[in-house]
Chains A and B, each alone.
Chain A
Amino acid sequence: MARYALRRCGWTVVQLAVLSVVVFLLTNLLPGDAATVDFNEQAGLDQVAQLREQMGLDRPLSERFVDWTGSLLTGDLGTSLVGGEPVSEVLSRSVGVTAALAAITLLLLVPLAVVLGLLTGLRAGGRTDRVVSAVTLTLASVPDFVLALLLVGVVSLRLGWLPATWVGADDQWWQRPELFVLPVTVLLARTVGGLSRQIRAGTIASLNAGYTVQARRLGVPPARLVLRHVLPGAAVPGVQELARAGDQLLGGVLVTEAVFAIPGTATALVEAVRNRDVPTVQALTLALAAVACLLNLVADLVGRRLAPRTEVLR
């Protein structure tokens, strides 16, 4: 296990290194740059050229890459081309909200999906199973931006129960839990279906497995049987799915932050992409990709612990 963990961590480091190259190249592929966006109409050509020089955009790609990785390794994320402030500043200002949003979603998602998955898996084919499965499938099939719009329209605008946007909440967001209700609902709706379906399938497989039958024959009472014997077996596909849900969640966060005007990392990223603010895009993309990498790492390690024989890394 220790050897596997070490190898898997090494692989993650390689992954991160390659990802940084991909991100750098991808962002530099963006046609047009901050200089042209800033002054599209009014600026003359020489003004643009001057600005490009000032921003260091005229130097060759390889040189800029070496610079960029060098400063990355020393912890310097670069300077935003638009506001002129350090990107780390942008990140630290926005990351709190996004992290809180993701953490709350995950905290609710895991128990909810486990309960739903067990409930449907233990009574597979029954009425509860069919109703819950139909609801989660439909929820997962409604685009999250539509769901967000509908929730805002009905709950906030028509009924006036909850705030529609975060505009005006500014820095006091942690004091206003009601702000989180709708965004978290949207994020949950998108991910809970897939996860609970995996746990349902795992539960069914585990319920029919020889070890569960034997535990029952050795007199393990039903509640304990489900928690200590069925669930560890059922969790295996769930853990892998959770890592995949991370990517979905990221897409969901982008949409919900946009719809609810949440001042988070995703909003900052969308803004930066629109402005061709390359250093900001690079740093934020890399940060999010790193989170995805780490999620995969954790899922593989936990999965290895739960199903020791499956070779996740060949």
Chain B
Amino acid sequence: MKQGPARRRRRTAGGALLLAPPGTAALVGPFVTPADIPSDGMPYARGDGHPLGTDALGRDVLTLVLRGGASALGVACAAVALAVAVGAVLGLAAAASHRRWLDDLLMRPVELLLPLPSFLVISVVGVGWRGQPVAVALAVAALNVPAVARLLRATALDAASGPVAEAMRLQGESPTRILFGHVGRAVLPVAAADAGTRVGATVFTVAAANFLGLGLDPTSPDWGVLIAASREALFVQPWAVCAPTLLLVMFTVGANLLADGLMPRGAEPGGRAAAWNQ
């Protein structure tokens, strides 16, 4: 794909800019808002000391939005971070193993879990451990591990068995230097870009589970829950739906753009197709 470096930089910068508001809300919000949000207004009131109005229970939407980012984004981000960590260990270990049985032992079970429909697991876990973000995060992480492990194994194998690595081995470079100096540098951007798109998708899935009432408590201040709870008031008090939506959209668009910018040129979608033509 022909893309000027300037355009890539613009994309990366745009992504970071879009990520800033939802990121700040999630990081700072919990510290500037009370843990228990009082129902001090009329249901779906607008103005009247509430800049973004109130929700069905008369709670201040601005406070809710600031409070709700941590659970909406935190679960997804923590889960993806965990998935990448576990997936990287599995994938790199499988790639580094010189024994085929060890590779199979590590990768086959992981591949078995690939077709498990993610939504089902999340809803089962969400219902089972109602209101337990840790349980949901663990489930989401477990669901993402197979794909991450597979991708990173393939990338690492490519780099580790490629001519650059062979040349380095013939020069007597230590395995550590080959791993960190070459294989790691090849894997890192791929892992980062993959994590970017994965975070976006995971935020969705978690929010959708909460929206369906299969996750958190229906009164908890989560963006997904908030959207679900205020849906009937879309035209009466649009901010109750639009504010959390806007933040969610900014987050996912930002994550996607950032991932695009980070993606190394050879590993872009279709990169493999290009490779077998050469």
Contact = CB atoms under 8 A, between A and B. Distances in A.
CB atoms of A and B under 8 A apart anywhere in the complex? yes
B273 A233 contact: yes
Contacts of A29: 124, 128
Contact of B205 (A125, A251, A258): A251
Interface in B93-142: 112-121, 123-124, 127-129
Interface stretch (B33-41, B50-58, B168-176, B208-216): B208-216
B212 A149 contact: no
A205 interface: yes
Contact of A255 (B212, B257, B269): B212
Interface in A293-313: 293, 295-296, 307, 309-310
A143 interface: yes
A157 B232 CA distance: 11
Contacts of A205: 270-271, 273-274, 277
B273 A31 contact: no
Contacts of A70: none
A274 B117 CA distance: 18
Contacts of B183: none
A159 interface: no
Contact of A288 (B117, B127, B270): B117
Interface residues of A, number: 66
B204 A310 contact: no
A217 to B, nearest CB: 16
Interface string B174-212: 000000000000000000000000001100110110011
B277 A149 contact: no
B208 A251 contact: yes
Nearest to A134: B253
Given A145-B227, A146-B227, A206-B273, A254 B208 contact: yes
Interface stretch (B23-31, B82-90, B244-252): B244-252
Contact of A31 (B112, B121, B129, B276): B129
B245 A146 contact: yes
Given A204-B270, A251-B208, A292 B117 contact: yes
A202 B270 contact: yes
Interface secondary structure of A, over-half rule:
helix
B256 interface: yes
B234 A27 contact: no
Q: Choose among A29, A157, A254 the residue with the greatest number of B CB atoms under 10 Å from its CB.
A: A254
A237 B212 contact: no
A209 B272 CA distance: 12
A270 B2 contact: no
Interface secondary structure of B, over-half rule:
helix
B112 A15 contact: yes
Interface string A120-150: 0000110000000000011011111110011
Nearest to B248: A143
Contacts of B257: 137
Contacts of B234: 149-150, 153
B222 to A, nearest CB: 13
A255 B112 contact: no
Given A141-B249, A143-B207, A285-B117, A237 B269 contact: yes
B41 to A, nearest CB: 23
B66 interface: no
A276 B277 CA distance: 52
Given A125-B2, A247-B118, A22 B269 contact: no
Interface string B251-274: 011001100000000001111111
A106 interface: no
B116 A22 contact: yes
Contacts of B276: 307, 309-310
B1 interface: yes
Interface string B1-36: 111000000000000000000000000000000000
A18 interface: yes
A269 interface: yes
A9 interface: no
Interface string A73-97: 0000000000000000000000000
24 contacts: A14-B112, A19-B116, A22-B113, A22-B116, A30-B124, A143-B211, A143-B252, A146-B241, A146-B245, A200-B270, A202-B269, A205-B270, A205-B273, A205-B274, A206-B273, A210-B277, A236-B273, A237-B269, A237-B273, A251-B204, A254-B212, A258-B212, A307-B273, A309-B276
Interface of B: 1-3, 112-121, 123-124, 127-129, 200-201, 204-205, 207-208, 211-214, 224, 227-228, 231, 234-235, 241, 245, 248-249, 252-253, 256-257, 268-274, 276-277
